[in-house]
Structure 1
């Protein structure tokens, strides 16, 4: 079986979507499947990761030729807003476009049960939930970088941290306000800033953040973030899954998350702490609880155990089964 595994805008898209594609191709390398990263109709399955106009063009022609189309549903109108400049304005017309695009697929791959429930309102195509997974090998040896990254960014334990693009949707306002309310704790957000792409409000939040709130920008070795951070604080308002969250779990870091539907599979008090979506006070209380190293260790150990189900080796066979089903 040959797969055309296409990622439109591959040279421009970063963040979780790119990581998911990297994970998929690493899984494909370990399976008994041939694949090309070029869009081609000389394949048994056409698999597109981002439904841009070129992907839609190929998907239509693949269907005309009887070639099954698989598409990942990384993008929804719901999670597109409050990201970069102009994304709020584009989120409204994005929905009807995605409804038509996703409707071309013979099978839609959703990264979470929450995303699947959203996508079921977009298109009638069959959906299946396959996690983006976590590359455990990528994180190996992260502990050895702790001293280097703490010194580089002047961080003291326990450091509250987050990993990923700095965007408002991921809870930027809450993160900054928490740093302001808890001046005795260090806060660090590891990830690209791209201020030229940010809206005015996002830029203001970053520039006016307190001294104990560090925005590192791009880091050359993401393992350093998980080495220097102690409490993974993820107050995101909307998420399809969250690869960084899975990585934090794999690194044995305790999670503090907003209690949104995406994280319904996490157990409050067992592998994370959850805060109802009602302002900052709940996060302040939870972080004060997490200054207790015993609680951090217990939640982090449970999170690490739970993360094993998301390893690439555990996820890979789900893709093979899907390809065999549609082909």
Structure 2
């Protein structure tokens, strides 16, 4: 790949946070690792145009790249399915978003899907060739997290074992279940580490946050994400829809036992070995089944075993492992 140059564009880079921003950061670390030259500006001077969000500017460049026989690679971070129950107005936008994305993703020569589940969704959108490449986990970013434990437990007045979650506080990620679990298990502390952005939230999301019990802490943005993995003991992720879940991979890398809703995205995780799963058919939001699982995870030995297995499983998602797949991707399209 000597001499290859990529236009690696992230539209709305100054405004988009969360998992998409993390994925782009991981991709650029990988490009550095592969010793590939790349521009973060959209240009038609490279050997490939790689866009992470199919906004209007990305579409404009993608169309012109194709006209010049420059291959277009697009990430499928966004689907109509995972757009709802996120921020205010996203439910209303999800329906018209799908035909737009069907058209926009159809402009690419290759689509990068972060999971097999995401690929299945995208293949209903377009017949553009797809390739599954994990967003990966930046193990280096988590180094030394253990040393922050007492500081972050004290900062947020948390008593171990702490049930925790990391990421934007949005309804889709199981906010209702998380709050209700805290209400039903007052003997445990629950902490959600991540931006609140209440001005962007709908009325019901705001009500859930403001009406949460005293043992449920919403930290808002924290400057060192390692603090979340230091303070947390059980990663509880009752999300209803997810393309992959970088925070999940980070929790596993940190050796934390993981409790998830049994959705198709997490089919690669083995219940009872890599994690504990709560069935979708557990009725309603499955709160009672989550309570039962958390009761089992009160056992320190069980937490230790599941966390150790999770850490072993996460090694396949390191940036070193993912880098080879990007090398193959670019060699294939250029």
* Cα offset, 1:33, TM superposition: 1.3
Q: 2:48 aligns with which of 45, 49, 62?
A: 45
Q: 2:247 aligns with which of 229, 244, 248?
A: 244
Where do residues 226-241 of structure 1 align in structure 2 (5 Å cutoff)?
226-241=229-244
Q: Distance in 1 between matches of 2:5 and 2:228?
A: 37
The list of structure 1 runs, each at least 4 consecutive aligned residues, that deviate by more than 6 angstroms after superposition, is: none
2:22 corresponds in structure 1 to 19
2:315 corresponds in structure 1 to 308
Alpha-carbon RMSD:
0.4
Q: Distance in 2 between matches of 1:220 and 1:14?
A: 14
Q: Distance in 1 between matches of 2:121 and 2:83?
A: 13
* Cα offset, 1:159, TM superposition: 0.3
Gaps of 5+ in 1: none
1:129 corresponds in structure 2 to 132
1:118 corresponds in structure 2 to 121
Q: 1:326 aligns with which of 320, 329, 333?
A: 333
What secondary structure, in the 3-state scheme, does the structure 1 residue paired with 2:137 have?
Answer: coil
What secondary structure, in the 3-state scheme, does the structure 1 residue paired with 2:7 have?
Answer: strand
Q: Distance in 2 between matches of 1:33 and 1:214?
A: 43
Q: 1:155 aligns with which of 136, 139, 158?
A: 158
What secondary structure, in the 3-state scheme, does the structure 2 residue paired with 1:3 have?
Answer: strand
Q: Distance in 2 between matches of 1:156 and 1:227?
A: 13
Task: Report how many aligned residue pairs link the two structures.
Answer: 327
2:63 corresponds in structure 1 to 60
* Cα offset, 1:320, TM superposition: 1.1
Q: Distance in 1 between matches of 2:141 and 2:250?
A: 9
Q: Distance in 1 between matches of 2:94 and 2:51?
A: 21
What secondary structure, in the 3-state scheme, does the structure 2 residue paired with 1:239 have?
Answer: coil
1:202 and 2:209 aligned:
no
Q: Distance in 1 between matches of 2:180 and 2:30?
A: 40
1:103 and 2:106 aligned:
yes
* Cα offset, 1:32, TM superposition: 2.9
Q: 2:227 aligns with which of 224, 229, 247?
A: 224
What secondary structure, in the 3-state scheme, does the structure 1 residue paired with 2:177 have?
Answer: helix
